[in-house]
Amino acid sequence: MGKRIPIVEKILSANDRLATQNRARLEQAGVVALNLMASPGAGKTSLIEHTIRGLHGELRLAVVDGDVATSIDADRAAAAGARAVQINTGGECHLDAVMLQGALNELPLEEIDLLIVENVGNLICPASFQLGTHKSVLIASVPEGDDKPYKYPGMYRGVEALVINKIDLLPYVSFDMDYFRRGVEVLNPGLVTFPLSCRTGEGLQAWLAWVRDLVAGVRAKRDA
């Protein structure tokens, strides 16, 4: 066990160096990037589809989809109108900076304003691997239960925004929003949060406004 810890630290350190290179490459090309993380079925791909359609004509979008197998999610992103690259991890439970670096090589970055990275569905591993994106976003969903911040503190502690999806199901499932929010607040005080429903559209405009402001803010900082 004593040898394992230094090995893990070395892997993470190497990953962080590559993530820094990815960030520099994105910023040089003027691309703002989001890392979307969630458990399977929380609604990552649905939110991406709504984001693509909601920002159509305003921002040029691309999507990098990470999954253990298949290109289903990338196909959905492409059908919604974005450039899409699929990363099949071959069993790995997360994306890392090396994988994103390879995906960036397949994209015309100078023709992209916003890059959305859909990480592998998992509430543990993705939290440990930086990619070089500007913001990390966690998507929680009502059917998952209100105890997830307490069970997966590392994930909730390390993100800059939280989406609570499927709020249209609140009348039908046991989910205590106050209990959930208290758990989040302890781990990540003041975390910007977007309760919404990809099915009904409720709350989506606030999410889209945040994405627009993020892109504008990064550009303004770059051009200052």
Global pTM reads: 0.91
**Residues paired with 195 in a beta bridge:** 164
CA 215 to CA 207: how far, in whole Å?
13
Amino acid symbol at 12: L
Count of residues in the chain: 224
Give residue 67's pLDDT: 82
Q: Which helix (H) or strand (E) holds 83?
A: strand 83-88
Structural domain of 189:
4-223
Strand 114-118 to 61-67 pairing: parallel
Phi-psi region of 111 (alpha: psi -120 to 50; beta: other; left: phi over 0): alpha
Give residue 1's pLDDT: 45
The mean pLDDT of the chain is 92
Q: Which helix (H) or strand (E) holds 158?
A: none
Per-residue pLDDT tens for 12-32?
788 899 999 999 999 999 999
CA 8 to CA 113: how far, in whole Å?
34
Give the CATH number, domain containing residue 136. 3.40.50.300
Q: Which of 47, 42, 40, 105 is nearest to 68 (CA)?
A: 40
Q: What are residue 144's phi and psi, to 5 degrees?
A: -65, -25
Q: Which helix (H) or strand (E) holds 163?
A: strand 161-165
- Contact (Cβ atoms closer than 8 angstroms) between residue 84 and residue 63: yes
Span 65-78, average pLDDT: 83
Per-residue pLDDT tens for 35-56?
999 999 999 999 999 999 999 9
Q: For residue 88, what pLDDT band results from cuts at 50, 70 and 90?
A: confident
Alpha-carbon dihedral 40, 43, 49, 50, rounded to 10 degrees: -170
Q: Which DSSP string do the residues of 4-17 spell out, in sequence order?
A: HHHHHHHHHHHHHH
Give residue 94's pLDDT: 87
Q: Which of 19, 53, 43, 6 is nearest to 126 (CA)?
A: 19
Written as six digits, the tokens of 109 are 């970055």
For CA atoms 144, 145, 151, 155, give the dihedral sign.
positive
- Contact (Cβ atoms closer than 8 angstroms) between residue 137 and residue 131: no
Give residue 155's pLDDT: 95
* Number of compact structural domains in the chain: 1
